[in-house]
Structure 1
């Protein structure tokens, strides 16, 4: 079974607004390496469209002028990855993507049952639903030394408390720390 991993940048006060954390070369390399551990990406509509707008290679094969050279490995990883999109409003997707329809739990369990290295999920709303269903196998929070004081917060509206066990920590740079957890008792 492929593990479903969730990774997100978060501030000290729990803000998960993607514009709050500054993009750095080290952060992009870290996330690119993480994504290479998976053979599929799982997005909700909003995250899919945001990622497509930013990281999809142009039809000519060129990257946008605004993109720094150190962003290209991350862009290539995202661009080339198989993507699954959960949406009730999109009629179709492309960009190596497939729409997931029907019952979310059933669709994601079927993805997890396929052979492979793993699935990464991004965003805020979809991971909340997946956490409520107990489908996330690993949580990674890149905690940045920022207090945003605004914006969407991590797992706002979660139905039940998540008991997680710390399985790894790593300093990433600029004071950020990657904390990895798996479901299970935190007292173990």
Structure 2
């Protein structure tokens, strides 16, 4: 997830404009990450944001080669949307209206490619249930003072091992951690 230095994925009013467009280098990192994912799991809010742009992102004027590839990969990658209010999904996507933790647990038990969890509320439920194996944060050098936090309240500590750090243009710092089991 993209996150502010003070730990928010959205400023008050669900404003996600604090980060601006990612550098080409960071965008390529996210594209490579998406290519490695066999399934993307979305909460409603991020699904609505992504599905409002990426189905035709490759047809936008001035789309870069990486953005064209991201749009194509986004459409082709299987996706699951967890929502009780969304009534229709497209682009290689299925809708789950029931218990997200139970479905993620079931999906993890299958022998498949890595899954990505997209959206703070969905990720928070997975965090509390101990279902996240890796955290990847692109931290932007901005403080927004409030909004939607990336991390949720947890019932117990989660110990992590740092596996990657990288600095991108604009002062964005990527940190990737694996969960110690």
For the criterion TM > 0.5, the same-fold answer is yes
- Secondary structure of the residue aligned to 2:36 is coil
Of 68-77 and 138-147, more deviation after overlay is shown by 68-77
More helix by share: 2
- Residues 81-120 of structure 1: matches in 2 within 5 Å? 81-120=77-116
- 1:171 corresponds, among 167, 173, 179, to 167
* Equivalent pairs, count: 175
1:69 positional shift: 4.9
1:47-92 per-residue CA deviation (whole Å, 9 max, x = no partner) reads 111100011128xxx6133745542222222122110011112233
CA RMSD of aligned residues (A): 2.1
Provide the rounded CA distance (Å) in 2 between the counterparts of 1:156 and 1:39. Answer: 25
Provide the rounded CA distance (Å) in 2 between the counterparts of 1:124 and 1:16. Answer: 7
Runs of 5+ consecutive residues of structure 1 not aligned to the other structure:
1-7
- Secondary structure of the residue aligned to 1:56 is helix
1:41 positional shift: 0.4
* 2:137 paired residue number: 141
- Secondary structure of the residue aligned to 2:53 is helix
Runs of 4+ in 1 over 4 A off after TM superposition: 66-70
Cα 1:108–1:35, aligned 2, differ >3 Å: closer, same or farther?
same
Of 88-97 and 148-157, more deviation after overlay is shown by 148-157
* 1:20 paired residue number: 18
1:43 positional shift: 0.1
Provide the rounded CA distance (Å) in 1 between the counterparts of 2:71 and 2:146. Answer: 28
- 1:63 corresponds, among 52, 55, 59, to 59
Provide the rounded CA distance (Å) in 2 between the counterparts of 1:13 and 1:122. Answer: 19
1:93–1:99: 8 Å Cα contact kept in structure 2? yes
Runs of 5+ consecutive residues of structure 2 not aligned to the other structure:
11-15
* 1:131 paired residue number: 127
Relative to the length of structure 2, the TM-score reads: 0.85
Provide the rounded CA distance (Å) in 1 between the counterparts of 2:163 and 2:49. Answer: 30
- Residues 149-160 of structure 1: matches in 2 within 5 Å? 149-160=145-156
1:15 positional shift: 1.9
1:57–1:79: 8 Å Cα contact kept in structure 2? no
